[in-house]
Structure 1
Amino acid sequence: SNPRQPIFSVKLDKHDSHGFYTFGYINENIHASKLYWQGIITDNGWWEGGCIGRTPSSSPEIDSVVASQYVRIGSKIYDRGHSNTAIIDTGTTLILIEDKTIERLYSQIPGAKLDHTLGGYVFPTDAPVPELAFSVGKWLFTIPSEDLAFSDAGNGMSYGAIQSRGQNQQDILGDVFLKHVYVVFDQGVNPRVGVAQRN
């Protein structure tokens, strides 16, 4: 059977109990804000929007590249430049961003440090952690501070859910981001992605 519209949507849940994908329609029963749309372009099977440089993605997962100029750490918004982009990627668990923002984030968490053995930033489990928000287009979408601890790193430390993107040209907004939003990928005549903040 043919989908009614060339769209699919993603809702991931923290405990994988009520997450789903839809194909051909938007689920209107999601407790979320309205959908905020960002236009994109397609190139060789992967999606890109609002960006200057291009690097092909070999990832077979559902993903979309969008403009992601702003990040909010706590109450302060940082402008990362109009060329900063992010891949919304269902096949990546963490959020991977450029090093300058990583350093800004972890410098605000007492006791946070780069653990070379674990290959990423860790911080004391009981440390106060700021709320974070990433932009898709001009809209900011929030990740609560309690979700910035990805896993137990031992010795009273947590492994951060936000880590360096390394040499990648784009940020990657993986499942840690997707568990707080509802995303619609519109592959119609004017490709776009819609993001809603979930309650």
Structure 2
Amino acid sequence: MHFQQIVASLALTSLAVAAPLSEEKRASPSEKFTVFQDKQARPEGRKVAGPIALAEALGKYGRVGLSPSPAVKQAAAKAAAQDDGTVAANPEQFDQAYLSPVTIGGETLQLDFDTGSSDLKISYGDGSSASGDVYTDSVDIGGTTVNAQAVELAKTVSAAFASNEGDGLLGLAFSKINTVTPDQQKTFFDNAIPSLSEPLFAVDLKKGQAGTYDFGFIDDSKHTGEITYTPVDDSQGFWGFTTSGYKVGDGETVTEDINSIADTGTSLALLQDDVVSAYYAAVDGAENSQSEGGYIFPCDATLPDLTFQIEDYAAVVPGSFFNYAPASAEGQCFGGLQSSGDLGLSIFGDVFLKAQYVVFSNSPLQLGFAPKDL
């Protein structure tokens, strides 16, 4: 995501400009507003359910009048309802966004999964936006399918919006901040929860390579330690949580509550000024550049790690992750850690999230963090 779009998720409630929901009306391919297509990443099929196979076998070979036990029947019914799925998250240049294949009405689009918004369209808080009509259609993400999902089809887009890669956003925040009017709609995740093995999705973003989103299950092969859970504050419609301190490099831990949100739709880590200043004070040649709009540093500078305390888990972000992209000044690079300014909370975007294995759980309402191979 471009730097001017980093506050996107914080102003979506002011951008509700969609038409009323139409019944099962499918958009034609010609109405799409971009042409970017990547057919390389394809959804994987769902797993074979053991309880279903067991129930079928017992039913087939049982004597007349006999049937599987209630426990087997219950397990089979649960398995039949499971609609778990996994899908690739493919990075754009500089990891500015991750695009995943989503099948809508039989056509595969490339969407940016955004835990900082609740819409299946694109609109930004920096003045760029999209508006249009709302339809219902079948939406499939790697085997997790929701029928009659509200899909927001953009018909009018701003110039800033039109420059984006991909076909749109898929919001994974809470439905309470969905911007459709006059009838607010549920997110894909909320609609999918009844069919999932567990009411959660797990995110494994990676630096410079494809990661995954898993719906309904935790893949323990994707993390190297225990998952630490922390409560979520959803009062603003976001995946809000609190870190209790931070440490720059090998320095002392600073005890400080940092109210934050986990936002896969934001490229950078945006934190309060004292944290940002403390970090760049440890980087030779770093400066807060007015012309660049944020902190820059020599591209060959050695960047320290930054560690955040979440419950009893030390979440480490390698220093190399903060070298985000070349700046316009020769030999200078733009930092992946920047000030959150007057937002009133910190945004842990992809720079932080791709250094962790992250579980977004709806019930209980919590976030899980674990270390992984980087």
> What's the TM-score bracket when you normalise by the shorter of the two chains?
0.7 to 0.9
* TM-score after normalising by structure 1: 0.84
Match of 1:112 among 266, 276, 286: 286
Which residue type is aligned with residue 21 of structure 1? Answer: Y
The CA distance in 2 between the partners of 1:168 and 1:149, in whole Å, is 23
The answer to whether 1:164 aligns with 2:357 is: no
Offset of residue 5 of structure 1 = 1.2
RMSD: 1.6
Q: Distance in 2 between matches of 1:165 and 1:41?
A: 19
Q: Find the structure with the greater CA-based Rg.
A: 2
**Aligned 8 A contact 1:182 1:195 in 2:** yes
Task: Verify: 1:6 aligned to 2:199, yes or no.
Answer: yes
Runs of 4+ in 1 over 3 A off after TM superposition: none
Displacement of 1:139: 2.1
State the distance in 1 between where 2:249 and 2:199 align: 37
Residue-by-residue CA offset, 1:94-146 (whole Å, 9 max, x unaligned)? 00011111111111111111111111000111222211112223422111111
Decide whether the 8 Å contact of 1:70 with 1:140 is kept in 2.
no
1:5-58 Cα offsets, whole Å, 9 max, x none, are 1111111111242x1111111112214221011122433643xxxxxxxxxxxx
1:66–1:137 Cα contact (<8 Å) kept: no
Q: Please tell me the residue identity of whatever aligns with 2:261.
A: I
Partner of residue 134, structure 1:
308
Contact kept in structure 1, 2:234 and 2:240, CA below 8 Å: no
Cα distance in 1 for residues equivalent to 2:316 and 2:256:
19
Larger fraction in strand: 1
Q: 1:114 to 1:33 in 2, by over 3 A?
A: same
Please name the residue that 1:71 is paired with: 246
* Structure 2 unmatched runs, 5+: 1-82, 84-194
The 5-angstrom pairing of residues 1-199 of structure 1 reads 1=83, 2-17=195-210, 19-43=211-235, 45-46=237-238, 64-82=239-257, 84-153=258-327, 154-188=329-363, 190-199=364-373
Q: Flag structure 1 segments of 5+ consecutive residues without an equivalent.
A: 47-63
Q: In the alignment, which residue of structure 2 is the partner of 1:60?
A: none
- Note closer, same or farther for the CA distance 1:193–1:152 as it changes in structure 2 (3 Å cut): same
2:359–2:367 contact (8 Å) kept in structure 1: yes
Alpha-carbon separation, structure 2, partners of 1:160 and 1:184:
26
Contact 1:32 1:182 in 2 (8 A): no
2: CA distance, partners of 1:99 / 1:41 = 22
CA contact (8 A) 1:182 1:197 kept: yes
* Distance in 2, Cα, partners of 1:31 & 1:42: 26
Q: Percent identity?
A: 30
Partners of 2:198 and 2:296 in 1: how far apart? 43
TM-score by length of structure 2 reads 0.46
2: CA distance, partners of 1:33 / 1:174: 22
Which of structures 1 and 2 has the larger relative contact order (alpha carbons within 8 angstroms, sep 6+)? 1
* Displacement after TM superposition at 1:80 (Å): 4.9
The structural deviation recorded for 1:156 is: 1.1
- Give, as a single letter, the amino acid of the residue that structure 1 aligns with 2:221: N
Aligned residues: 179
What corresponds to 2:96 in structure 1? none
